[in-house]
Structure 1
Amino acid sequence: MTAAPISNDTPAGWLKRAGRPWKRLAGLAGLLAVADVIPAIGFAAGLAMMIARFENGLNAALPWLGLAVASLLLRGLIGQAAVVVGARMGRAVKSDTRERLLTDLFGRGRRSTDRLTAVVEGVEALDGYYSRFAPLRMAAAVSPLLVIAAAAFASPVAAGVLVFTLFPFICGMALAGTAAAWESRKQFEALERLSGLFIDRVRALPAVLSFGAVERTTTEIARGADELEKRTNRVMRIAFVSSGVLEFFSALAVALIAVYCGFNLLGLLPFPVPEQLTLAQAFFVLALAPEVYQPLRRLAAAYHDRQAAEAAAPALTVDEPEARTAAALGELAPAIRFRDVTIAHDPAVPPVLTGFNLDIAPGQSVALLGASGAGKSSLLHLLLGMAPLSRGEVEIGGARLSETGGVAGQVAFAGQAPVVVPGSLGENIAVADPSACPGRLSMAARTAGLTADLDRPIDERGGGLSGGERRRLGLARAILKRAPILLLDEPTANLDPASEQAMLTVIRAAAQGRTTLIATHSEAVAALADKVVRL
């Protein structure tokens, strides 16, 4: 299940659209939040009748005590069920939103520190909105009216007092929410700036150390952290003030009900009323009075979840992806045809490649030679769906790239810097095919020239692997993966001549029986290809 198309909309509209596919789950969470009223009324009734029946003996009060205890247990079960359903709702929306962001980040090549922050911080900001705030919003709209209606059966006057005191409570919530919304947006923007700055400086750490910019970088990060602290303090200050205001109105309303019930029982009211309360009625209304405001207080406590989600929403919007039909290439090496291909990552910047044409026969290997920035890697990324096909067409075994969007799942790829994951060497090779048996892993490692023990541990930074071994790891993955197309991006870059010569045999073995594209600066690597194209 996927979220509805996301268009240019208000944050509130975006949140509504994002949760629309899970309307039933959202409705169930809201109903459970409203259902909390039933045991609350049962507890109030049980407590009131138990106190009223004590004068008739303990046996007369025990059934009502049982009702109060059963209501408490039922309330706990309903609350737990509401938490579980709300958590499922939040998890579903977060998973779909994160998938869309990652598709936009990697599939469309829209990489930026803001996007990275959105994937991590922004998506997590949605959790509280869908798991807590959205269900409580329904309860806040319905539950107080149900409680007041129940109180009206015992005391219409007390119910009228509750209705009267409800309005200033709601106005206080609205004013506090409006004040906090602006500060929450500023807080999230400050968080985005600090996260982006930190990621940029970590990436550039060697340059920072080399040019003696440590003090300046530390100052910049400290300044961003101070700004975030100030924004956070402002949000917390508003939250504390609003909480105090809401507690004041809630306590005032309960006090009014207590005074009315007490004076009514004693017959000391200074004005006439059309009712005379019994002890049971007075206790019932008094026990229900806090429950009128409980849903609103819970909503106020979760209001920051809404503010955080609305502040994050602008960073989470992505264009609706075009409908794609996955291409099935089969096991045989396909022909690849580039027809007047143009690749432009940004309309404001000149295209990386313009009017490119090339015919590659099935099983043929082609080397792409050219200066840095000529578009060699972009052509490989185009087949992987990581670069846009701005104009023209690419046909792969009869399938059109404009219709499929890429054939990444059916391509073996070895890049300039193979990704290393924490684990053993064998587990790193198996990334290309997790179902591969130990025999296939060993064969791929031997073919790639990796003689180390497959159980050898490797950390996420590739500790213990030389530059040449990392390249061989990438080629071992390409050999292991049963794919009819092989893409190699600078497989021997930055290697000394002896290491490069050793890699040529591995490259030749990996390309056997596959349609192969190699982006390279090396004439020695280009000599392995059936055709050389200079860009």
Structure 2
Amino acid sequence: MTRPQQQDTKSSRRLANERIIVPVAHQLRVAGALSVASGLIWPAQAGALAWAISGWVMGEMNRTNIAALFFVLGGLLSAHLKRAAGAYLFDAADQTIARERAALISREARARAGISSAEIAALAVQKLPLLQPWITRYHVAMMRVSILPVVLLAVTFWFSWAAGLVLLVTGPLIPVFMALVGMAAEEASRRQMVEVGTMNAMLMDRLSAMLDIRLLGAIDRASAEFEERAEALRVKTMAVLRVAFLSSTVLELFSAIGVAMIAVFVGFTLLGEITFGSWETPLGLGEGLFLLLIAPEFFQSFRDLAAAWHDRAAGLSVMAELEELDAVERVAFLGAARATAPLSGPISLELCGAAVAYSERILPLPNFKLNAGESVALVGPSGAGKSTTLEAIAGLVPLALGHITVCGETLDEDKADAWRARIALIPQKPHFSDQRLRHWLDPDADEADLWGALTLAEADRIVARLPDGLDTHLGETGGGVSGGEARRLMVARAVLSGRELILADEPTADLDPETAALVIASLKRLKDAGHSLIVATHDPAVFGAMDATVKVKP
């Protein structure tokens, strides 16, 4: 890794720490202190246990009850402290994940990045929870490893300088090797996170195009591509696991060597074969048992840190992805997307010298006017900016030049929400929420209003043949209705919304002439009912049904 890369990595880690750890630092400190206090109880319990066992050897059985009581009370206190620490830690993790998820969803809802919704979903649902182990384990493990081994080492030296020397030599080797392995762990985790997002994006893409895939006979090819991505994810996941197993092997090796050396030293000392290693008096049975009991605990803090080190690597990988997403250039829509009273005054619209910054270029919008009850067709080749014009009219794309006047006022940040309260959009790809059709159309409408709007939109027979009528759940993509039927249902929804201006984006795209004619008829009925219409279209039949045609030039 070059020096600039190292500096970037350090800067990224510092920013990640400020973003994730600093807001919950108090809770982490309290949890760490409770965890350390819990860990400090074990030497006292080990002392009581060693004292009782040495008493048994010497025939002093009266020590048992006292040691047992002390051991049980210590265990209960330790469990209580651990439980309290866990409550602080998981509360901090829940707060952090909820905050990051809310910020992510809020930002993406207002200004989408140029990546697929599947990758955003994978980040929000699958990856953000990986911050929890980092928060709940790593920082407490760091605090424990900075205090408990030092305390246990000091206690060990108090009884035996030889045993203390063994721990002093073997202990520091573990963090050194752990840091070396941790570099590989972080990179492997980052590659795995990227692959998870890629696989989710590919899956959503293939599912949305499943009908076309089947019609083109490309099922085998799609399956092979999915299998290839799944295999790539498996390889990257196994790479993470290999690094984890490697670090665990190194840790257990040095831990086992350290504990074994102390066991050998204590054993041979008690047998009288080793006469050095203690200060003035040789180790007794009680002291030897005590050293054997606390030696594994000395290494346990390092074990916990090693496990948490991988959690930290996974968390930093997630944070790197969040930071990359933060840096993506976005264009936010106007307004705050809040329910508000409709903009007052008669419906009117005027575009004058308007242009938007789109895909690193300035895209000019056509100049035209629209009054109440009028209809306009936006025509032009693909990519000319018809859909962008509709988005700009709705305040979903801010202007780089010129202005748009709505109801006699300039469309800006303050007027956008009120203006949108008078607009209904019929998108090219209808989307249905997971609820009954009657509630999707209008949760407050009565039966008569629903059927009246459906009749106006030429959609009453569509609902009549559905298995559950208005109580049918169509699913996200409108399962059970065709594309043309879905668009007529969208027209009915626009009628029930009571909005005066209807924006329709390619309402007859991909429809056969008969179905397109039904959609056009429903749009004409909207106009006859007093609505104003702006329709982006390639279809001559559609702009032939409108009052005026506006050419959108690329």
Settle same-fold status: TM greater than 0.5: yes
Equivalent residue, structure 1, for 2:490: 474
Deviations 1:212-245 (A, max 9, x none): 4444443333333333333333332232222112
> Does the 8 A contact of 2:32 with 2:140 survive in 1?
yes
Q: 1:471 to 1:165 in 2, by over 3 A?
A: same
Match of residue 321, structure 2, among 315, 335, 347: 315
Deviation at 1:247, TM superposition (A): 0.5
Q: 1:360 to 1:80 in 2, by over 3 A?
A: farther
Q: Say yes or no: does 1:380 pair with 2:383.
A: no
Between 1:29-38 and 1:295-304, the stretch displaced more is 29-38
> Does the 8 A contact of 1:343 with 1:387 survive in 2?
yes
Q: Say yes or no: does 1:167 pair with 2:166.
A: no
Q: Say yes or no: does 1:489 pair with 2:520.
A: no
Equivalent residue, structure 1, for 2:289: 283
Q: 1:229 to 1:38 in 2, by over 3 A?
A: same
Q: Say yes or no: does 1:299 pair with 2:309.
A: no
Higher alpha-carbon Rg: 2
Between 1:404-413 and 1:100-109, the stretch displaced more is 404-413
Counterpart of 2:479 in 1: which secondary structure? Answer: coil
Equivalent residue, structure 2, for 1:95: 98
Equivalent residue, structure 2, for 1:251: 256
Equivalent residue, structure 2, for 1:51: 53
Deviation at 1:42, TM superposition (A): 4.2
Deviation at 1:517, TM superposition (A): 4.9
> Does the 8 A contact of 1:383 with 1:407 survive in 2?
no
Q: Say yes or no: does 1:424 pair with 2:424.
A: no
Deviation at 1:136, TM superposition (A): 2.7
Q: Say yes or no: does 1:369 pair with 2:378.
A: yes
Deviation at 1:346, TM superposition (A): 1.9
Equivalent residue, structure 2, for 1:223: 228
Deviation at 1:533, TM superposition (A): 4.1
Equivalent residue, structure 2, for 1:66: 69
CA distance in 2, matches of 1:128, 1:408: 46
Deviation at 1:447, TM superposition (A): 2.0
In structure 1, runs of 5+ residues without a counterpart are 1-7, 431-435
Match of residue 108, structure 1, among 111, 130, 144: 111
> Does the 8 A contact of 2:259 with 2:296 survive in 1?
yes
Percent sequence identity is: 28
Equivalent residue, structure 2, for 1:5: none
Deviations 1:128-185 (A, max 9, x none): 3233334433333333234434555655664443233211111221222223333333
Q: 1:80 to 1:355 in 2, by over 3 A?
A: same
Match of residue 364, structure 2, among 354, 357, 362: 354
Deviations 1:402-422 (A, max 9, x none): 678877984643322321233
> Does the 8 A contact of 2:133 with 2:308 survive in 1?
yes
Equivalent residue, structure 2, for 1:185: 190
CA distance in 1, matches of 2:474, 2:527: 24
Between 1:149-158 and 1:488-497, the stretch displaced more is 149-158
Q: Say yes or no: does 1:342 pair with 2:347.
A: no
Counterpart of 1:341 in 2: which secondary structure? Answer: strand
> Does the 8 A contact of 1:148 with 1:162 survive in 2?
yes
* Count of matched residue pairs: 515
CA distance in 2, matches of 1:400, 1:498: 34
CA distance in 1, matches of 2:429, 2:205: 19
Report the RMSD for the aligned CA atoms in angstroms.
4.0
Deviation at 1:395, TM superposition (A): 6.1
Deviation at 1:484, TM superposition (A): 7.9
Deviation at 1:246, TM superposition (A): 0.6
CA distance in 2, matches of 1:399, 1:126: 45
Instruction: Specify the code of the residue in structure 1 equivalent to 2:70.
Output: L
Deviation at 1:271, TM superposition (A): 2.7
Deviations 1:366-417 (A, max 9, x none): 6351124332322333466654544445566767636788779846433223
Counterpart of 2:358 in 1: which secondary structure? Answer: coil
> Does the 8 A contact of 1:108 with 1:386 survive in 2?
no
> Does the 8 A contact of 1:29 with 1:85 survive in 2?
yes
Deviation at 1:250, TM superposition (A): 0.8
Counterpart of 2:265 in 1: which secondary structure? Answer: helix
Q: Say yes or no: does 1:76 pair with 2:96.
A: no
CA distance in 1, matches of 2:294, 2:349: 74
Q: What TM-score comes out, normalization by structure 1 length?
A: 0.79
Equivalent residue, structure 2, for 1:4: none
Deviation at 1:37, TM superposition (A): 1.2
Q: What TM-score comes out, normalization by structure 2 length?
A: 0.77
Deviation at 1:529, TM superposition (A): 7.5
Q: 1:186 to 1:458 in 2, by over 3 A?
A: closer
